[in-house]
Amino acid sequence: MTTTITSGGVDWAGRLRTGLVDRVERSFTGQREIVETAVICLLAGGHLLVEGPPGSGKTTLARAVAAALAPAPGTDAWRRVQFTPDLLPAEITGYEQPLLTGGAAPFRPGPLFAHVVVADEINRASPRTQSALLEAMEERRVTVAGRTHRLPDPFFVVATQNPVDLHGTYLLPEAELDRFTARVAVGYPSRAAETAIAAGRLTEPEGAGPPHLRAEDVLAAREATAAVAVTDALVGYAVAVAEATRTEDALVGGVSVRATRALVAAARARAFLDGRGHADAKDVQRVAVAVLAHRVVPSGRSGGDAAAVIGDLLTRVPAPENAACAP
């Protein structure tokens, strides 16, 4: 059940549900939980990794999110980068173009200078090009020829990869995986949804209609999300879940402190999207697999299923009572 949370007289949670979640789901039909996870990442100021087979709608999801946002003046709503082995870092960050007449070389912004960046098949680029994303994703800036350039705000990377076809790919290093707030696995839609897609009966084709939200609306919604109450008991629970991954025999190593912070931020965003002014243990549990599973490496004892290991840990780590999590 949702309630109304206002900030500055605006029901931002309601606007996000109708102007973003509902709208994107009309394009990315039948997979509302994945749509909500994408919006949670946006609200938490993070980035999303989408895995799935070709033709399952990974790029459609990112484009639908971008189509709902009106860009700030001089900024693109979204840009797509097709990652390939020969892609150079300057082709995504931008470069300085020398002038024949001399003088200071002007900076030519790359496709990272957009509110939503679709990094398609990110694991096909070389490690050097992948690393060019690290500064951008973590610090919201790029450095070219010794000069730093700020990226637009909000800045949201949606990266896609095919987890099955690994020919000619470079596995994402742990440092880069850790930059993604959450990972979702896109499967095939239900038969009813696939029938609607095949018949062209989507109620709102991808990108149809004017944008529902401005860039400043997203920033205001982020401020309201940051105001969602989180108690020490709840933070302690998130820390306990993270610590459990570091001592679990079914995992090789555990999650970072960045992951713990992302878990709390995502739980806040989950509560906010549901219209609640405080987060509780159920919010942590609902986002834990998406936030943590891609950051750990299963051992031979786990059967290779990190999500199942995280799910099992959640049943064993004691959760605080809901009353203790209320403001």
Closest by alpha carbon to 28, among 151, 128, 160?
A: 160
Average pLDDT, the chain: 85
* Residue 166 clears pLDDT 70, i.e. is over it: no
**Burial of residue 326, with CB atoms counted within 10 A of its CB: 0-12 exposed, 13-18 middle, 19 or more buried:** middle
Which contacts qualify for 246-252: CB closer than 8 Å, 24 or more apart?
248/309, 248/313, 249/299, 249/301, 250/298, 250/299, 250/301, 250/302, 250/309, 250/312, 251/296, 251/297, 251/298, 251/299, 251/302, 251/306, 251/309, 252/296, 252/297, 252/298, 252/299
Token pair 């302690």 is found at 236
Domain ranges of the chain: 12-222, 228-325
68 CB contacts (<8 Å, ≥6 apart)? 19, 20, 23, 24, 211, 212, 213
Mean pLDDT of the 247-264 span? 94
Say which residue, 215 or 162, is predicted with more confidence: 215
Mean pLDDT of the 258-264 span? 97
Question: Model's pTM, two decimal places?
Answer: 0.88
Decide: 42 and 219 in contact? Cβ < 8 Å. no
Specify the DSSP element, H or E, that contains 252. strand 251-252
Mean pLDDT of the 81-89 span? 91
Residue range 228-325 forms a domain whose CATH class is mainly alpha
What is the greatest pairwise CA distance in the chain?
Answer: 70
CA-CA distances (angstroms) from residue 229 to 37, 142, 236?
20, 33, 14
Say which residue, 236 or 129, is predicted with more confidence: 236
Closest by alpha carbon to 70, among 25, 110, 20, 109?
A: 20
> 117 has which bridge partners?
79, 157
200 CB contacts (<8 Å, ≥6 apart)? none
Indicate the pairing of strand 69-70 with strand 147-150: unpaired
Mean pLDDT of the 73-84 span? 87
Closest by alpha carbon to 154, among 100, 230, 84, 76?
A: 76
Domain 12-222 has CATH 1.10.20.60: no
